[in-house]
Amino acid sequence: MSLYILTSIKLIPGPIQQARLVSPISRLNWRFSLLNQKTNYVKWFSTGRGKIREWSTWKGIITRFVPIGLCLIAVMQWRAYRKFSADHTAKNWEVIFYCSLPLRATSRCWGWIADKRLPESLRPYIYGLYSNTFGVNLSEAAEEDFKSYPSLADFFARALKEGVRIIDPTSCLVSPCDGTVLHFGPVNTGQVEQVKGITYSLEKFLGENTWNRSNNNGDYRTSLLHKSDKQSCLYQCIIYLAPGDYHRFHSPTEWQPTHRRHFTGELLSVNPSVARWLPGLFCLNERAVYLGQWAFGFFSMTAVGATNVGTVKVYFDKALQTNRPKYKQSYLWKDKCFGSTVLLKKGDPFGEFRMGSTIVLLFEAPASFRFNLTPGQRVQMGQAICCAAKEGHVDRVQKPTYSVISNAS
């Protein structure tokens, strides 16, 4: 009977296969057990638990790794395209295309990877490869042993040995970070140069002047100044931090930040080549603007986010949270008032980036103020960036006296 059943279901179609069959009943039972397992799996999957688990797995893969792959492909194609158009500025369709890339999601994904604890055995290889690629000088780090950094994020934000960076005691203004000077000089109009010939809007970068409404005379640039336009001038300095640089930044002078304005936005690359190509780059990107006063009047320091640098940490501002999924849709900017609670000295630790990014200084100073810099120059944190002027020594000032202006909402 069993042989008849096996033949009818074509497990044993002929006498040759019948001769090879050792145990037809056991093979039939094995087939039935597989059928039962499949039936049970279908029932389990149809209940929803299987669907949820499988979707969760694929959702994790899609949200974490697919954006990286897409962005890598886009960047490779973009670089190939840029080789043939290195001297032109971005057109509208190019800006739209670039901003449509999922760079915020990619940066969050990269942050998730960078925060993961690495096995000690892999750390020397991974950190060594990174150091060789980006020129990291580990001899300056407080911890020279690769194994002492649990994650990539810890390695990026490594501290320096004491005494490696000397804060110039004679200069009123020093470099807040290690990096490359993109641009510097006076700001004479509402358009500020991010690199030579490529500008961004001063008002869009800082936002509405709500912290000093009493000085609003219709011209945004002069509304920032505490003194008349003849007595003082607005200046700027932009420093780019490369991936291999020291990633922490410090107070460039003795000043009092009274407000913070957090702008949501894109996380586009701030590499110098992109800055030369994309006008208004710093107005598009997410940034944390710190506004206040120093010896000569208005002073601001801005940490600009970039691709894979979604996390900006400021030590005295625990409420600041950058590159959050819903921030881009929820508000254009968000203000916080510190009042007179924060007073920073020259060289005080201010914050840190993950990977590299950009620091923008915008400040008021006398008309005799002079920078001691050249475009493209490499600077180190604590290095003097201004020099003595003919009309007195601008880089030797007395301790500033502050009168806090607090009109921001």
- With bands split at pLDDT 50, 70 and 90, how would you rate the model's confidence at 35? very low
Catalytic option among 178, 245, 317, 395: 178
Asked whether residue 151 is assigned to any structural domain, the reply reads: no
Asked whether residue 320 is assigned to any structural domain, the reply reads: yes
Catalytic option among 250, 251, 262, 395: 250
Active site residue 348: no
Which of 274-278, 301-305, 330-334, 387-391 is predicted with the least confidence, judged by mean pLDDT? 387-391
- With bands split at pLDDT 50, 70 and 90, how would you rate the model's confidence at 380? very high
Q: Is 65 helix (H, G, I), strand (E, B) or coil?
A: helix
**Is 150 exposed, middle or buried (CB count within 10 Å of its CB: 0-12, 13-18, 19+)?**
middle
Active site residue 226: no
- With bands split at pLDDT 50, 70 and 90, how would you rate the model's confidence at 213? low
- Cα separation, 289 vs 70, in Å, equals 31
Asked whether residue 134 is assigned to any structural domain, the reply reads: no
Examine the pLDDT at 395 and tell me if it is beyond 70. no
| Secondary structure (DSSP) of 300-360 | EEEEE-BTTB--EEETT-TT---S-TTHHHH-SEEEEE-TTS--B-TT-EEEEESS--EEE
pLDDT one-digit tens code per residue, 108-164: 787 788 888 999 999 999 999 999 998 999 999 999 999 999 998 889 889 999 999
Closest CA to 375 of 168, 193, 195: 195
Indicate whether this model's pTM tops 0.95.
no
Asked whether residue 276 is assigned to any structural domain, the reply reads: yes
Active site residue 368: no
Asked whether residue 317 is assigned to any structural domain, the reply reads: yes
H or E element that contains 179: strand 179-187
Domain count within the chain: 2
Catalytic option among 107, 175, 251, 357: 357
Asked whether residue 107 is assigned to any structural domain, the reply reads: no
Asked whether residue 397 is assigned to any structural domain, the reply reads: no
Examine the pLDDT at 404 and tell me if it is beyond 90. no
Higher pLDDT, 76 or 8: 76
Give long-range contacts, CB 8 A cutoff, 24+ apart: 158-166: 158/246, 158/247, 159/248, 160/246, 160/248, 164/140, 165/380, 165/381, 165/382, 166/382
- Cα separation, 13 vs 364, in Å, equals 95
Domain of residue 16, residue span: 2-47
287 near 265, Cβ under 8 Å? yes
Asked whether residue 85 is assigned to any structural domain, the reply reads: no
* Residue 343 and residue 196 share a domain: yes
Examine the pLDDT at 15 and tell me if it is beyond 80. no
| Angle ∠(117,122,125) on CA atoms, nearest 5 | 125
- With bands split at pLDDT 50, 70 and 90, how would you rate the model's confidence at 365? very high
